Structure 1
Amino acid sequence: MSDAAVDYTQLGPSVVRITMQDKEHKNTFSDQLLVGLSDAFERVKADERCKVVILTGYGTYFASGGRKESLLQIQDRQISFTDSDIYGLALDCPVPVISAMQGHGIGGGFAMGLFSDFVILSQESIYTTNFMRYGFTPGMGATLILPKKLGFSLGEEMLLSAKTYYGRDLKERGIPFPVLPRAEVLPYAVELAETLAEKPRLSLITLKDHLVAELREELPRYIEREVAMHDKTFHQPEVRDLITSQY
C-alpha cells in the first residue's frame, strides 16, 4: 500500500485514515488518485465498524486539483469534471469525514476538502480556488461549498479573484475552522476522530444525514449550473492560452 497513490490505514477499530500520496503528480487529480479515492470510500461504506474517516495528504500537499492535461481535455470538449465524482465523496460518505489539510489545497482539491464534515487547515499551506486564473469558471461544486463553509463574502472573493491565501491569512479573516502549524494538523484530526468514535455508529450516521441533507440536495443543481458555465467559458481561445502558459 505504501506505493499506492492512496493509502488506506485502519487507525483503530472505528477510525480510517485515507492518505492521498501521489508524489509523482503532487496530488493533482491523476487517474491513480481518482481511482484510489473512489475505491477507498467504497471500502468505508462497506465497513460496518467504521465510524470516522480522516482524509489527508502527504508532506506539503493535500490535493492540487486538475492536471494540466485534463484541463486541456476539458477545453477540447473531450472530458468533463463530472466524469469522476470525487468532489462528492466526503459529502456522500455515510460517516463523518475530517479533512486534515496539512498541505496545499488548490482548485478542486480545496473544494473537495471543504465538503468534509470537519476541516483543519495548516498555517503554512496555501489555499486557493484558482479556476479563474485560467479564465474559466469554477467547477467541482466550489460555487456551492465555498460560500457555505467560508461565508458568502470571502467565498465570493476567493472564487472571483483566484487569489492565493496562506492558512494564517484565512485565520485572520475569521474562517470557522482550526488553523494549526502543519505538524499539529494530523494529531488534532486523530484526537477529534477518537472523540467522534466514542459515539454509536448509527447515531453518527443519522445525525450526519440530517445535517448535510440540504447540501446533498443542492449539490447536483450547482454541478449542473457549473457545467453550463463551463460550456460558456471553458472553450474560449484565451483559456487554452492561459492554461498552456500559466499552469
Structure 2
Amino acid sequence: MLDPIVEVRDLEAGIVQVTMQDRVNKNTFTDGLIGGLTAAFADIGARQDCKVVILTGYDSYFSSGGTQEGLRDLFEGKMKFTDKDLYSLALNCPIPVIAAMQGHGIGGGFVMGMFADFVILARESIYTANFMKYGFTPGMGSTFILPQKLGISLAGEMMLTASTYRGEELHKRGVPFPVVARDKVLEQALELARTLAEKPRFSLVTLKDHLVFPLRKQLAAFIEDEIAMHALTFHQPEVKQRIEAFFGK
C-alpha cells in the first residue's frame, strides 16, 4: 500500500503528529495535500483527547508551497489563494501547534509553518518567502505573519528580495525559534509537546485562544489587502513568463 499523503499518528497521550509526505510532489500544495491537511486539522480540533499537534514533513522537505498549475490558475484569475485556506489551519486549531520544519520551507510552505504557535527550524534546510521571484506580491497572510514572527526588517528583506536562507543563517540573524540539526528537529518538537501535554486541555485551549485572538482579528484585513495587491500584480505578462521559466529552480 502507498503511504497516505498526510499521515496522522498518535505519538503519546495527548500528542498527535501530522506528517506531510507527498514525495512525488515534494509537499507542494496539491489538492491531495490540501485535502489531507484540512481533514486532519478538522478531526484533531474535534477530538477531546488531543492537547498538542506536531506538524512536519519528510526527509529534507517540509513544504514547497504552491504548484506550478496553481500559480497558473492564480495568474489566469481562476482562483484566489483564499479558496484553499491552508495558512490559518494552525492558527485556528484550538490546541497548540508545533511546526517541526525539519526540511525546506518554500513560499507558501514556509508561511504555513510560521502560523504555528511554536516553530523549530533545521540548520541545513532552506527557507524562503519567494513570491516576488515570480513577480507577484506575497499572499497567504505573509505580509502579516512574517513581520509578527521574524521582525519587520528581516521579514521585509525576505519578501522584497525573495532570497533563500539556510536555517543556520536565520539563527545568526536572530530568529526567535530554535534552530537545530535536521535530525534533532522532531526530537526537540516531541520534548516541547510533552511539556505542553502535561497541562489540562481546557487550560491550553483557553490560553491559546487568548494569545492568538489579536492575530486572528487582524489577519482578515491583511488577507484583503494581499488579494487586492494580487489583482494589481499577478496578471502582468512578465509574471506568467517567470512562472514558466523559474518554477522549481
TM-score bin, normalised by smaller chain: over 0.9
Query: What is the aligned-residue RMSD (CA, Å)?
Result: 0.8
d(CA) in 2 for partners of 1:154 and 1:45? 33
Shift of 1:2: 5.9
Q: Deviations over 1:57-85 (max 9, x none)?
A: 00000011000111011100111111111
d(CA) in 2 for partners of 1:153 and 1:168? 18
Which residue of structure 2 lines up, in the alignment, with residue 239 of structure 1? 239
1:18-167 superposed matches below 5 A: 18-167=18-167
Q: Secondary structure at the match of 2:8?
A: strand
d(CA) in 2 for partners of 1:25 and 1:193? 29
Shift of 1:12: 1.5
Q: Secondary structure at the match of 2:66?
A: coil
Which residue of structure 1 lines up, in the alignment, with residue 214 of structure 2? 214
Shift of 1:181: 0.2
1:198-213 superposed matches below 5 A: 198-213=198-213
Which residue of structure 2 lines up, in the alignment, with residue 186 of structure 1? 186
Q: Are 2:226 and 1:226 aligned?
A: yes
Q: Secondary structure at the match of 1:165?
A: strand
d(CA) in 1 for partners of 2:227 and 2:20? 26
Shift of 1:4: 1.0
Percentage of matched positions with identical amino acids? 60
Q: Secondary structure at the match of 2:195?
A: helix
Which residue of structure 1 lines up, in the alignment, with residue 15 of structure 2? 15
d(CA) in 2 for partners of 1:124 and 1:2? 28
d(CA) in 2 for partners of 1:24 and 1:3? 12
Q: Which amino acid aligns with 2:163?
A: K
Q: Deviations over 1:101-127 (max 9, x none)?
A: 000000000000000000000000000
Q: Which portions of structure 1, spanning 4 or more consecutive aligned residues, are displaced by more than 2 angstroms?
A: none
| TM-score normalised by length of structure 2 | 0.98
Q: Which amino acid aligns with 1:52?
A: V
Q: Which amino acid aligns with 2:53?
A: V
d(CA) in 2 for partners of 1:122 and 1:28? 19
Q: Secondary structure at the match of 1:78?
A: coil
Q: Which amino acid aligns with 1:116?
A: A
1:160-179 superposed matches below 5 A: 160-179=160-179
Q: Secondary structure at the match of 1:105?
A: strand
**Unaligned ranges ≥5, structure 1:** none
d(CA) in 2 for partners of 1:231 and 1:150? 27
Q: Secondary structure at the match of 1:26?
A: coil
| TM-score normalised by length of structure 1 | 0.99
